[in-house]
Amino acid sequence: MAYTKRSDGRKMDELRPIRAEIGIIPNADGSALFAHGDTIAIAAVYGPKPLHPQHLQKPDRGIIRANYNMLPFSVSERAKPGPSRRSREISMITENALSSVVDLTRFPGTVINVEILILQANASTRCAGINAAAMALAHAGVVMKEMVASVSIGRIDDKIVTDITKEEEDYEEGEGATDIPFTLTSRGNLITHLQLDGKLPAKKLIEAYEAAVIACKKIHKYQERALKGEKINENK
């Protein structure tokens, strides 16, 4: 049977309810919460500060060091605590997605630590983490060329859907599902992060990118509102 209706009642291009807030960790230089529905991420930024050991310093620029982790009970089956191959991979992806928009030449020899914790997970955790981290960097006053926003676009059978859930990720009827996380810049819609497992026709990939552009513009507006001090909670 072809995929025709989303189980949570959303339209194919509709985001889940969004939560967004800054300043949630008082002792961090910058912090933020961002949630797509049941997926909740918090991020804290510390720095820039001198990088140690000193031989790792870059004389012409700083670096971003991200650390992504999930709480053990953020998923239905208890996640193993501590770093895993997946958490290290997502940490590296996050560093790359953010480094392209932060003006690291202003902070030579330094490190900006970005700590991301997933409190609750229902797919799109890396996207929620990147959205929270971008807000936390801005809240910390780190100079950025543009903001970034991140969303997971899915292909389910022949349909392109926005902000997919775990249930949709696991969809196996028909042609099954493909998950495509995008991170895009706020002004140029440039891709700073894209992942695709499996095969996808070029036409569908272009369609997925176009859906990501629309979704990320919406997410960026939520980020902007939160950075101006508004506490956003569409679940209420």
Spell out the domains of the chain, with CATH numbers in brackets: 18-229 (3.30.230.70)
DSSP H helices in 147-235: 166-169, 202-227
Query: pLDDT tens, position by position, for the chain (236 residues)?
Result: 566 788 899 999 999 999 999 999 999 999 999 999 999 999 999 999 999 888 888 889 999 999 999 987 655 555 565 567 889 999 999 999 999 999 999 999 999 999 999 999 999 999 999 999 999 999 999 999 999 999 999 998 889 999 999 998 887 665 668 899 999 999 999 999 999 877 788 999 999 999 999 999 999 999 999 999 999 999 86
Q: What is the pLDDT of residue 75?
A: 57
Q: Bridge partners of 144? A: 102
Rounded Cα distance between 114 and 112, Å, is 6
Q: What is the pLDDT of residue 79?
A: 56
39, HSE (Cβ side, Cα atoms, 13 Å): 23
Running DSSP on this structure, what letter comes out for residue 102? Answer: B
Q: What is the pLDDT of residue 173?
A: 67
Return the closest-CA partner of residue 123 out of 180, 190, 207.
Answer: 180
Q: What is the pLDDT of residue 84?
A: 76
CA–centroid distance for 14 within its chain? 17
Contacts of 30 (CB under 8 A, 6+ apart): 22, 44, 45, 136, 137, 138, 139, 140, 141, 142
- Sheet strand arrangement including 232-233: 63-70, 110-120, 39-50, 30-36, 18-22, 232-233
